[in-house]
Structure formats: structure tokens, C-alpha cells
Amino acid sequence: MAWFDPLKFDAAYLHVTVFAAEVFMNKILGREYPTTNQDATVHFLKGIQILRKMLLLGDENTKPSDSTIAVVLTLAVSAFFMGEDEAFKHHMVGLRKMVNLRGDVVAFRGSKLLTEMFRCDIGMAMQSGSEPIFFNNPRSEPVVPYPDQKLLSIRNSTWVISPQHELESLLRKMDASLVEAWRVMERFRSIVNLAVETQRMISPGFLYDTMASVMYRLLHMSFETGSVNEAVRLSLLGLTYNVFLKWQYLRLPYVYFPSIYKSCLLDPKLIDGAASHIMLWFLMVGAVSTFTISDHPWLKDCLREHIDRCQVKSWNEMRGVLK
């Protein structure tokens, strides 16, 4: 479904899109909700009214159209931006039911609609620590499979974050499922670099498979706070958030994820158990993807400590450690 096509024929989608655009601009300009202007509120109420009428016309087994799903998704995104957690969850539960009526996740495989639903779902889980709406029970609903291994092996490379023996030492300490997620992201990075070098496009399906398969699995993993496994899990979540979920031009006020990431990085068990090269990678991933200006004091202190231990004297040397 092209995002703008339903604007021509779906009045509910037109109204909620106007409202969502206002919410987005409020975020960009730093205006706090409920400063949304009166005209936008009228569009919101009108869109809800039309949506309710459409839903009442069908029965509980009626399959919703793509444009109807897009209306509810737009409402969910708006609630997410406004910090309306309960409204967001209500919309996401509705989306989950709509997806089920259409034949479950497999019916939307590779579609932009499903990708955006997953982005919202994972984003809220990282923001609040809540259970995701999709794949919340991997035993009854298996997570999306990892991308095809043949595709992932297009370009064999090593994701070096430190001297090779230290990387292999780290991987030997890690949980097997976590190593698998690491390897998938390692190959993903190589494919992205190859696409940049050859100026080729990456298929949306590959991006979707990588995002959903890696991030949902990471959300369901659980390790002891301060362990190397937990630090790697959180670092991979931060990295994948930066790649797949980050909204252009704005930074959403994540609270839960930065707090557990910080607690893990400052845990004495991790500081004593991870090499300084590895700690630098953990810290830099957090600095780029997660932490804010308020974290700079402790983050700078930690970076200085491990930079000194690694005897890094220049940015080029730092890049060599992090490459």
C-alpha cells in the first residue's frame, strides 16, 4: 500500500493523517502536548467518528482493509509521539486483532504496514519495558525467522570491535542465541557496506526480516544485570534501534531502556569482567544510540578511563578499536 493513495478515497485516513502531521510538527518544534491546535483536534475527532462507523458496519469476522489498518496505525503513532501510553496500547491491541483477521503476520510479510507496526511495538517495549504486542509468546507464536543464510553469507567479513583474539574470547563467553543475533547483525553490516560501495538498493523485505527477527529475539532474552551477555544484548538493542527505529529529526524520550543500559554499564561485575576494548564499544554504542546530554558526566568519565587503559591517543586510533 502506498502511504498517500488512501488519502484520495478514505476520509478517516485523511483526517487522522492531518492530525498526525500536526503532532509530528509539535515534536519537531518542541511544543508539548496538548498544544495541538483546534483545527487538528477537529480532524482527530472526525477521523475517529468515521472509523467507528466503518467498524460498526462490519461484524467481528470482517477483514479490515489496508487503509483501515493504516488509520489505526496512524492513531497509534500519534499516541506514541504524545506519550499517551494507554491510548497507544489500545490502538496496538486493535491492530493485532486486525492482523489476525487478515490471516496473521504472514499475510503482511514484507509490507510497509507491518514494518511500521513492528517499529511502534518494539519502540514502546524499549521505552516502557512493557511486553510487545506481537510475538509476546515465542512458544505459541514463533518470531520471524532470521534472514536467509545464503543471503547473509554474500560477503564474509568480521565485525571487529577489538583485536581478533579478544572478539573470539568475548563470543565464547556469550549465550548461543545471543551469538546468533550478533552474527546476523555482523552480516547485515557487511551487506549494507557492500550496497553503499556498489550503489545498489537493499530490498525492504531483507530490512524487515533483519529488524523483526533480531530485535524481537533480543527483547525476549534475559540475562543477569552486569553480565557480559546483558551488556551485549543491550548494546545490540541500542545499535538496532539506531538503525531501524530512530525517527528522523527527533529523539523520543526513552526512559526505561537508557536506565537499564546505564545500570548495566556501571555494574562492577561488568567493569571487572569485560576488556577495556569491549567496554569502549559498549559505551560508544550507548552514546550514539541511547544516552542524552544528562548522561555526559558519567559517560565521559567512563570513556576516559577505558581510553587510557587502551592507550588511545587519537581519533584514528579510537576508530581502529571500534571498527
Q: If pLDDT is split at 50, 70 and 90, which confidence band does 167 have?
A: low
Sign of the alpha-carbon dihedral angle for 3, 103, 139, 180: negative
Peptide bond into 142 cis (omega under 30): no
Contact (CB, 8 A) for 166 and 278: yes
Q: Comparing 79-83, 103-107, 316-320, which segment has the lowest mean pLDDT?
A: 316-320
Please give the full DSSP string across 191-257, using - where no structure is assigned: HHHHHHHHT-PPPHHHHHHHHHHHHHHHHH----TTSHHHHHHHHHHHHHIIIIIPPTT------HH
Last residue of a domain, one of 80, 97, 128: 128
Query: By residue range, what is the domain housing residue 83?
Result: 5-128
Sign of CA dihedral 21, 15, 65, 85: positive
pLDDT of residue 184: 92
Q: Among the three residues 128, 157, 185, which one is the final residue of a domain in this structure?
A: 128
Assess if residue 237 is contained within a domain.
Answer: yes
Rounded CA-CA distance 242/288 in Å is 8
Kindly report the average pLDDT of the chain as a whole number.
85
Rounded Cα gap, residues 13 and 19, in angstroms: 10
C-alpha cell at 225: 544485570
For helices 228-240 and 276-289, angle between their N-to-C axes, nearest 10 degrees: 30
Instruction: Please tell me whether residues 44 and 103 are part of one structural domain.
Output: yes
Domain count, the chain: 2
**DSSP 3-state percent helix, strand, coil across the chain (nearest 5):** 70, 0, 30
Are 105 and 153 in the same domain?
no
pLDDT in tens, 230-278: 999 999 999 999 889 887 656 666 789 999 999 999 999 887 778 888 8
User: Are 98 and 186 found together in one domain?
Assistant: no
Q: Are 75 and 91 in contact (CB under 8 A)?
A: yes
Q: Kindly state whether residues 168 and 312 are assigned to the same domain.
A: yes
133 occurs within a structural domain: no
Contact of 28 with 249, CB cutoff 8 Å? yes
pLDDT tens column, 25-76: 877 777 765 555 777 888 999 999 999 988 887 766 678 889 999 999 999 9
Residue 157 confidence class, pLDDT cut points 50, 70, 90? very low
